[in-house]
Amino acid sequence: MSGPVARPILRVSDLEVRYGGVPAVRGFGFEVYPGEVLGLIGPNGAGKTTTLFAIMGILEPSGGEIEFEGSVINRLPPERIARLGIAMVPEGRRIFSEFTVEENVRLGLMGRADAGGEADDLDWVYSMFPIIDEFRSRTAGQLSGGQQQQLAIARALVSRPRLLLLDEPTLGLAPVIVDTLFEALGQVRGRGVSMVLVEQRAQLAVQFADRTIVMRDGELVTSLEPSDASDADRLANAYFGS
Partner 1 sequence: MILVQNLIDAIALGALFALVAMGLGLMFGVMRLVNFAYGELITVGAYTLLLTSGQPEWVRVVAALLVVVVFGLLMDVTFRPLRLASPTTMLIATFSVSFLLQNVAVLVFGTRGEAIGFLPVLNQAVDIGGLRIRWVTLVSILIGALLLGATSLLLTRTTIGLQIRAAAADFRMARILGVKANTVITTAFVGAALLAGVVSLMLSIQRPLATPTFGFLVIIPALVGIVVGGMDRLVPATLGGFAVGVATGLLGNLLPSAQRVFLNTALFLVVIIVLLIKPDGLFVRGRQTVERL
* Site for partner 1, rule CB under 8 A: 56, 58, 77-79, 82-83, 87-88, 90, 94, 96, 98-99, 103, 106-108, 110-112, 155-156, 159
Instruction: State the minimum distance, in angstroms, from the CB of residue 167 to partner 1.
Output: 11
How many helices (H) and strands (E) in the chain? 9, 10
Residue 106 CA to residue 55 CA, distance in Å, equals 23
Q: What is the 3-state secondary structure (H, E, C) of 165-200?
A: EEECCCCCCCHHHHHHHHHHHHHHHHCCCEEEEECC
Residue 99 or 239 having the CB closest to partner 1: 99
In the bound state with partner 1, the residue whose beta carbon lies nearer, of 148 and 159, is: 159
Nearer to partner 1, 38 or 82 (CB): 82
Nearer to partner 1, 98 or 233 (CB): 98
Least Å distance between CB 187 and partner 1? 21
Asked if residue 185 lies in contact with residue 208, where contact means CB atoms within 8 angstroms, the answer is: yes
Smallest distance from partner 1 to CB 220, Å = 25
Distance, CA of 212 to CA of 142 (rounded, Å): 34
- For the chain, what is the radius of gyration of the CA atoms? 17
Min dist. Cβ of residue 51 to partner 1 (A): 15
For the CB of residue 147, give the shortest distance to partner 1 in the complex, in Å.
Answer: 18
The closest alpha carbon to 189, from 37, 70, 3, belongs to 37
**Between 139 and 223, CB nearer to partner 1:** 139
